[in-house]
Each structure stands twice: as structure tokens, then as C-alpha cells.
Chains A and B, each alone.
Chain A
Amino acid sequence: DSGVTQTPKHLITATGQRVTLRCSPRSGDLSVYWYQQSLDQGLQFLIQYYNGEERAKGNILERFSAQQFPDLHSELNLSSLELGDSALYFCASSAPTGTDTQYFGPGTRLTVL
């Protein structure tokens, strides 16, 4: 158990809908990263937050957004969902600045029908 929690574990929804994925980092970790894992694209970095502020952006679609709250949990919002958004979404956390190790949560499997 990495100490990173994600909810829900599974999510099934329809095209055009909006969903919210939630992540709680390990105790004391300030950084949260979101990754998407699909069969054809592998593990792709989406976005990073550090202590509530956006730190870096990767291949994140404009239909996707994220935020990190004062209690350091993070939410990834996916809107106007398309079939191609079906994937595993992982969050990871790391300790305060200077530590490279990222610990991954169990993921949320999103299925868009």
C-alpha cells in the first residue's frame, strides 16, 4: 500500500458527461501528479500540483482540469467525455521539494460508453 488513495475505483459513464476523480496524497506529501494510462499511449503525465499551486502541465486536454485543495487532496475533472477518454487515471504524490520518488495510488478506471 503506497499510502495514496483514489476514489472511485471504477467509473462508468456516457459520452458528453462530466466526472470528478479524487486523490488523497500520502501524509506530508505536497506534490500531486496525475497520469493517464491507456493501451495505445502508455502512461502519460497530465498535470502536477504543489501545495495548492499548479506546477507543470503535460498532455492534458482543455476538457480536463484539476485542482489541489488546502488539505492537499486533489481532484481531476473530466468534461464532455469521449469514448477515447476511457483509461486508467492514476495520481501520485511525492515529498516536499528535492525528492524525486513518486508513489502511485491504485487508480480509477474510467469507462465511457
Chain B
Amino acid sequence: QQQVKQSPQSLIVQKGGISIINCAYENTAFDYFPWYQQFPGKGPALLIAIRPDVSEKKEGRFTISFNKSAKQFSLHIMDSQPGDSATYFCAASTRAQKLVFGQGTRLTINP
């Protein structure tokens, strides 16, 4: 019940396209859903986060869509750029406790 399932495992998108990564969870006590971006040799960096009381949050080219009834959330990257090529992790937590991470998606943006 603590798992967060992420898909796809890898994704190739053309420059300018939309990248979409999906996550699903079981634990309804989760109340914080961040997305992290990780480049090789670096630590995860917070990209954007959402709470279950809103259905969508947008920051620049990055949007989180949240479906509480389906227990799913997704990251959309608009106008994807080669610099967006990285590994993306969704995560969830309860009351400022540990983060439970998805398995990660390796995103490649082809120029």
C-alpha cells in the first residue's frame, strides 16, 4: 500500500513535443505529491509538487494533473527541450514524513 507505480520506464519525445509521465498510488493518506528531476551524477531536484485539494498545478512548461478518485497523477512537460533529458521521479508522502518514490522514467528529448 506504500507503493507508487510509475510509467513508462523510458520515454523518447521529439523536441517541441509533450512528454507525459504517469504515477498511481494506493495509500489514500498521502497528502503531498512532488516530482523530482535527476541528472546523471546529481541529486534529485524538486520540479513541482501538488496537494490533493487541487486537480492541476502549472509552473512554466511543467504541469501536474491530479485525479484523486482514480489515485493517479501525471507530469506533463510542454514544448520539451533537449535540456529536459533526465530521469524523472514521482513521489508521495504523508504529513511531512518520508517520500515514497516511483521507479523513475528516463526521458530523452531528440533534437
Residues of A whose CB lies within 8 Å of any CB of B are: 2, 4, 31, 33, 35, 42-45, 48, 55-56, 58, 90, 92, 94, 97-107
Contact = CB atoms under 8 A, between A and B. Distances in A.
Contacts, number: 56
B98 A2 contact: no
B67 to A, nearest CB: 20
Given A42-B104, A43-B89, A103 B46 contact: yes
B45 interface: yes
5 smallest beta-carbon distances between A and B, as pairs: A104-B43, A45-B98, A43-B101, A100-B32, A104-B44
B98 A97 contact: no
A98 B44 contact: no
Most buried by A among B46, B89, B96: B96
24 contacts: A4-B43, A35-B99, A42-B89, A42-B101, A43-B44, A43-B104, A45-B98, A45-B99, A45-B100, A48-B97, A56-B97, A56-B98, A94-B96, A97-B96, A100-B49, A100-B96, A101-B34, A101-B49, A102-B46, A104-B36, A104-B43, A104-B44, A107-B42, A107-B43
B62 to A, nearest CB: 16
A7 to B, nearest CB: 13
A100 B31 CA distance: 9
Nearest to B36: A104
A106 B38 CA distance: 10
A98 B51 CA distance: 13
